[in-house]
Structure formats: structure tokens, C-alpha cells
């Protein structure tokens, strides 16, 4: 039989990366092989993101580019999946008639059957098939999984979001919160451990709400403790947390469980209580700072990271300075900083006093400058310490390897005649700290 190839173009968050791994698994079950150059593929999936306009523009350009590939190879199946397919399906079909399948966010695990059905229609007049019902419950994944990493696995624990932050499109394209059962999650992790996986990231838009849809109290803390007990699990991460829902029980679980890594990613979005109110975030600046104090009480040596938006409608210079001084006060290890992007259909898109782009850009620069100082300071504290690293692979200079600490910091160290495998545990004594990375030398043990 002739060999068939697939190519996956992934954009966006970790949930999308996880979905893309599910697509890869299903395609391989059907006998397709991965190929890096999409020009030579028989099936292309573009897994899309619409959280900001910049992402959408880039992806729309890529979908347009695929028209020429389809003209050369009319048998090619182009599938546009994920958040843009969910949000703008109708527009996409009109603009890009070369797309064969539009797959909304709840159909990831049904892709295999959908593709088979579509291929069976060959010979009939082909037109785009659309799957975009958000009310269905995403099916459990039962097939083969092709993960990107050989030791680190994404584990979705829930889908969707109920929060409706006023700037955010996610609840409209990923639907309401649906949690996976604890048994299914544990079974997936156990199977991954049997395949050699050591590091696990539990994924959800709002992981602290895990299990609320089946009425269970403190379900996320219970899940963390349960995963911690699985033999072979070395490192557990989770994202993303909502400051309003982050409970003391979860913080205690992190403090008490050996394998849960001591990083807290708690997006605060704005340091101004008034902006937070208009964002519908459900907490004030003071409440957020109380949460940070509670985290530091239980886990004094933790790292704290965050997400911040600048230029939300109506953000004044004073509001922005509240964000800036919160960043300085907390001293985050790292921050993902974003310029507010108007998403039509969200309440904030209709708010008065949209902030001009040049003001947003200037604020972003000031914010990044302040955060870079924090990142460097946090990293400098590690000079002279021995950190535990999971090796990832060689860096650009092949004589130097890189890997990550338990809290996700990038570390580089010279091989010095040794050989490593991805996933090896290495202890590195840090001698140099930069804003984005640490350097040091491997030592015998921690």
C-alpha cells in the first residue's frame, strides 16, 4: 500500500498541544506517518487559537497559504480544528473553500471516525463538513497517543470555562466546564508511566474548579494528592489556576506532596481593583495579595508566575501603575504579559475608552522592564545552589545540554565528556544567572 503522510500545524496554548497529540495518535492508528513538510502531506490539520487577534491573523495567513498546496494535490484533506474553527466556522468556509473539515473543540477524540466518513465520500461532490456543536461532551480518548516529549506528558483534566472574564473568548469557544473522572485521569497517567513518562502537567482553563460539575468539594486538591501517589510519577505541574478559586487545600497539597512542584502560576491580569471588577475576575488587589501571602506561608521557597494584560478598556495611567507596583511588590519569577486584544462577542469589546495601541505598547514595555528585573533577581538567588534538572536535550552548542528545574527554569550545563538521555535527572550547581536562564556544572548528587 502507498504510504500516507500527515502534518500538524499547532498554535496556541498547552490544551491545543495536547489536542494535537490526540490527532497525531488517531492518524497513526489509521496508518499515516508524520512528515515535517506539509507540502508533502495527505492530511494537514491546522489546530487554531483565537485568544488574541495577532494569533488569528497569523493562522488565517497560514490557512490561505494551503490553497496552493491543495491545488497541486486535490486529494489532500485540509482540516481546520480548534478555537477559530469553533468561533468563525461560517466565515472560514466562505473565505477558504479549500478547507475540507472544520472541527470544533469538542470533537478532538472523534476525529478518526470523522476523517474515515469524509474519505468514504470521495467521488461525491466534496464540500466542507462542519462539526461545531459545543453542547456535546468530549469523548474519552481510548486510542493511541503520540506525545511530543518522551518524558513529559500533558494530561487534560477538564475542558471549558465558566468564568466569562469580560475580555476572554475562551468560554465561547470551549464551552462550559466538564471534568474528566479521577479514574480516567489516573489510568492515563499510569499508562504514560508504563511508557517511561515522569513529568505530568494537569491541564484545564481553571483547574481549581475541577470536579465542581460533579458536585465534589476540594476535588482538585484530592486529585493532586491521588496523582502524587502514583508510583513512577516524579513531577506534577498544573495550569491554569484562578486566584478566586485557589483554595488553602490546594496550597496544602502542594506543600505536603513530594512530587507536586513548588511553582504557583496565578494570573492576576491587573493590579487595579476597579479594572479587576470590570474584567469580572471576582477578586480585588488586596485579596490577590492575601493569596500570595498564604502561598508563601505554606511553601516559602516556591516560585510564583503570572499572566498580565495591559490596556484593558478604560485602564488609566493610575490603574497601570497599580499593575506595575504589584509586579514589583510580589517579585514574580516570570510573567506572561499581553496587550489587551479586542475579541468581538466579549463584553469588553463593547466597552468605552478603548486604549490606543501606542499607549498599550508603551505600558507593555515598562511592565516587561520591571518584570525582567524581578526574573534576574529571582534567578540570582540560585547562584551557588544545586538544583534538580530533568535533561531535555542538547542546546545550540552540542557540547552543552539544557533542561528544566522543578519550577520550570531553564538550565544549561556543559557535557564535560558525559552523555545524557532526555528525561535523565541531573543535579547542577548554578554559577551564572541571567533573566531567562541559569548556567552551571553537573555535580554528583543533590
| Contacting positions for ligand 5AD (CB under 6 A) | 51-52, 167-168, 267, 269, 307, 309, 338, 340-341, 343
Residue 171 touches which of ligand SF4, ligand 5AD, none (Cβ within 5-8 Å per kind)? ligand SF4
For ligand SF4, give the closer residue by CB, 15 or 43. 15
Nearer to ligand SF4, 165 or 412 (CB): 165
Element (H, E) at 262: none
CA dihedral 80, 82, 87, 92 (to 10 degrees): -10
The whole-angstrom separation of Cα 15 and Cα 21 is: 10
φ, ψ dihedrals at 170, nearest 5°: -55, -45
Specify the DSSP class assigned to residue 427.
E
- Of 217, 215, 221, nearest to 236 by C-alpha is 221
Q: Kindly state the smallest distance separating residue 164's Cβ from ligand SF4, in Å.
A: 6
46, 39 Cβ separation under 8 angstroms: no
SS3 196: coil
Measured CA distances, 352 to 314, 384, 392 (Å): 7, 52, 47
Tell me which of ligand SF4, ligand 5AD, none is bound by residue 161, counting a contact when its beta carbon lies within the kind-specific cut-off of 5 to 8 angstroms.
ligand SF4
- Alpha helices in 38-176, H assignment, sequence order: 53-72, 83-95, 111-120, 170-174
Closer to ligand 5AD by Cβ: residue 76 or 168 = 168
CB of 160 to ligand SF4, least distance (A): 9
Q: How far is the CB of 189 from ligand SF4 (least distance, A)?
A: 24
What does 341 bind: ligand SF4, ligand 5AD, none (CB cut-off 5 to 8 Å by kind)? ligand 5AD
**For ligand SF4, the closer CB: 240 or 379:** 240
At closest approach, how far in Å is the CB of 5 from ligand 5AD?
Answer: 32
Q: By C-beta, is 170 or 233 nearer to ligand SF4?
A: 170
Q: Measured from the CB atom, is 351 or 383 closer to ligand SF4?
A: 351
Q: Which does 309 bind (CB under 5 to 8 A by kind): ligand 5AD, ligand SF4, none?
A: ligand 5AD
Q: Which H or E run includes 186? A: helix 182-194
- Beta-ladder partners of 260: 236
206 contacts which partner out of ligand 5AD, ligand SF4, none, CB within 5 to 8 A by kind?
A: ligand SF4
375 binds, among ligand 5AD, ligand SF4, none (CB under 5 to 8 A by kind): none
- Least distance to ligand SF4 from the beta carbon of 271, Å? 16
List the single partner that 343 binds among ligand SF4, ligand 5AD, none, CB under 5 to 8 Å by kind.
ligand 5AD
CB closer to ligand 5AD, 54 vs 71 = 54
How many CB atoms sit inside 10 A of residue 137's CB? 9
Report the distance separating Cα 314 and Cα 275, nearest Å: 8
Task: Locate 14 and state its grid cell.
Answer: 498547552
Check if the beta carbon of residue 128 is closer than 8 Å to that of residue 79: no
Amino acid at each position: 500500500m502507498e504510504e500516507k503522510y500527515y502534518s500538524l500545524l499547532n498554535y496556541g496554548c498547552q490544551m491545543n498541544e495536547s489536542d494535537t497529540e490526540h490527532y497525531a495518535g488517531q492518524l497513526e492508528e489509521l496508518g499515516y506517518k508524520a512528515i515535517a513538510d506539509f507540502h508533502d502531506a495527505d492530511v494537514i490539520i491546522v489546530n487554531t487559537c483565537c485568544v488574541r487577534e495577532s494569533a488569528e491573523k497569523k493562522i488565517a495567513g497560514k490557512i490561505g497559504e494551503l490553497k496552493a498546496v491543495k491545488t497541486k494535490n486535490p486529494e489532500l484533506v485540509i482540516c481546520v480544528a480548534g478555537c477559530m474553527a469553533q468561533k468563525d466556522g461560517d466565515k472560514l468556509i466562505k473565505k477558504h473553500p479549500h478547507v475540507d473539515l472544520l472541527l470544533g473543540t469538542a470533537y478532538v477524540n472523534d476525529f478518526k471516525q470523522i476523517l474515515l466518513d469524509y474519505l468514504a465520500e470521495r467521488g461525491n461532490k466534496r464540500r466542507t463538513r462542519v462539526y461545531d456543536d459545543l453542547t456535546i461532551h468530549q469523548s474519552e480518548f481510548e486510542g493511541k497517543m503520540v506525545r511530543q516529549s518522551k518524558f513529559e506528558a500533558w494530561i487534560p483534566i477538564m475542558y471549558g470555562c465558566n468564568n466569562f472574564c469580560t475580555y476572554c473568548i475562551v468560554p465561547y469557544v470551549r464551552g462550559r466546564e466538564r471534568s474528566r473522572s479521577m479514574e480516567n485521569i489516573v489510568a492515563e497517567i499510569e499508562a504514560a508511566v508504563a511508557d517511561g513518562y515522569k513529568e505530568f502537567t494537569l491541564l484545564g482553563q481553571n483547574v481549581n474548579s475541577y470536579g465542581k460539575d460533579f458536585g465534589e468539594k476540594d476535588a482538585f486538591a484530592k486529585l493532586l494528592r491521588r496523582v502524587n501517589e502514583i508510583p513512577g510519577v516524579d513531577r506534577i505541574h498544573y495550569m491554569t489556576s484562578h486566584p478566586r478559586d485557589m483554595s488553602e487545600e490546594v496550597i496544602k497539597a502542594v506543600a505536603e506532596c513530594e512530587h507536586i512542584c513548588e511553582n504557583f502560576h496565578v494570573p492576576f491580569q491587573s493590579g487595579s481593583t476597579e479594572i479587576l471588577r470590570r474584567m469580572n475576575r471576582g477578586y480585588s488587589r488586596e485579596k490577590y495579595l492575601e493569596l500570595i501571602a498564604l502561598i508563601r506561608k505554606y511553601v516559602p521557597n516556591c516560585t510564583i508566575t503570572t499572566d498580565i494584560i495591559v490596556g484593558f478598556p478604560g485602564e488609566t495611567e493610575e490603574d497601570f501603575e497599580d499593575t506595575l507596583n504589584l509586579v514589583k511588590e510580589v517579585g514574580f519569577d516570570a510573567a506572561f504579559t499581553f496587550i489587551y486584544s479586542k475579541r468581538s462577542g466579549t463584553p469588553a469589546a463593547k466597552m468605552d475608552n478603548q486604549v490606543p495601541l501606542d499607549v498599550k505598547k508603551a505600558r507593555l514595555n515598562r511592565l516587561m522592564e520591571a518584570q525582567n528585573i524581578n526574573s534576574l533577581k529571582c534567578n540570582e538567588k540560585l547562584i551557588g545552589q544545586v538544583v534538580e534538572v530533568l535533561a531535555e536535550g542538547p542546546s545550540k552548542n552540542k557540547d552543552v545540554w539544557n533542561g528544566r528545574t522543578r519550577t520550570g527554569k531553564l538550565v544549561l550545563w556543559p557535557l564535560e565528556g558525559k552523555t545524557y538521555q532526555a528525561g535523565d535527572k541531573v543535579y547542577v550547581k548554578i554559577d551564572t544567572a541571567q533573566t531567562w536562564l541559569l548556567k552551571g556544572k553537573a555535580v554528583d548528587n543533590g
